[in-house]
Amino acid sequence: MTQTTGITITGVSGRMGQMLVQQVSLNADTHLAGAVERGGHDWVGQDLGVAMGGAALGVIVTDDAAVAMQDAQAVIDFTAPIATIGFAKAAAEAGIVHVIGTTGMTAQEIAHLAAPAERAVIVRAGNMSLGVNLLTLLTKKVAAALDEDFDIEIIESHHNQKVDAPSGTALMLGEAAAEGRGVALADVSDSGRDGITGARKRGDIGFSAIRGGDIVGEHDVMFAGAGERIVLRHIASDRALFARGALKAALWGQGRKPGEYDMLDVLGLND
C-alpha cells in the first residue's frame, strides 16, 4: 500500500480547521497526523473526532505543536500571526512543510518566517484557490497595461466573524496591481477613507472592506477610467476550495528545497 502524507492541522476547532479535517479524510493521498489547539481550549486532550461531535479518529488534540508534528510530513496553518510564527519554528525543527493561510500578517511578522524557511519549505498565500491566483495574475497584467488615468479599487466582502481588513486576498491583489505598475503598495495604498478626505490621489490603490452574514469571500478589482470601467471578479461560495488548495500545497511541497513559496509556485503560474 502506498504511504500517504501525514497532515497536522493547527487551530483545529475553527471553521477552517474543521473543514481541513474533512478534506484530509476525503483525500486519498493524505491522512490526519496531528491536531493543535491553543492551551486551555476545551478540545485539548480529547479525541478530535469526538470533539467534533462524531466518531473517534484516534488523534488527540494537543497544545504542543512539536508533539502534533512528530509523525507528520506537513502542517496546515490558518490561525493568527503570532501563533503562525511559533508554528513556523516548530515545523522547521521537525523538517516538515508548513502551509500558511493565516492572514493579517505585517511585514515585520512575515520577516520572522525567513529563518525557518532556510530549513524547511514554507508555502504562504493570502488565498489558496486556483481562481484567485489566476485573478492575481490578471490584475498584474491589466495594471501594467493601463496607466494612472485608471484608478484601481479593490472591494472585498467576507462574513461577519472575520477579524482583519483588508483581507489577505485583497492585499495580495493590491500587491499584484502595484507590481504591475512598478510601485510599492505601501506608497500608494488607501484603505482609511472616512470623513472629508479630499479628492482621490492619482495613482493610489484603494481598498474597501464589507463584512456581513456568512459571505465566504468575494473580491473585485476595478479599474475605473473616464467613461469606462474594467472589473475583474472572483466569488467563493464554498470554503472547501481553500482547504483543497492548502492540501495541494502540502503535497506539492514534499521533496522541495527549503524556501518561501506561494500558490503561484504550487500551480506553476510564476514567471
Residues with a known catalytic role? 158, 162
Distance of alpha carbon 270 from alpha carbon 88, whole angstroms = 24
Distance of alpha carbon 8 from alpha carbon 246, whole angstroms = 12
Supply angle C-alpha 55, 238, 185, rounded to 5: 125
For the four alpha carbons of 100, 105, 111 and 116, in that order, the dihedral sign comes to: negative
| Distance from chain centroid for Cα 243 | 10
Cell numbers standing for residue 65 = 505543536
Closest by CA to 250, choosing from 97, 117, 79, 131, is: 97
Question: Backbone phi, then psi, for 98, in 5-degree steps?
Answer: -115, 110
Within the chain, residue ranges assigned H as helices are: 15-26, 48-51, 65-69, 81-94, 107-111, 114-117, 130-145, 168-181, 185-188, 240-252, 263-266
Distance of alpha carbon 170 from alpha carbon 177, whole angstroms = 10
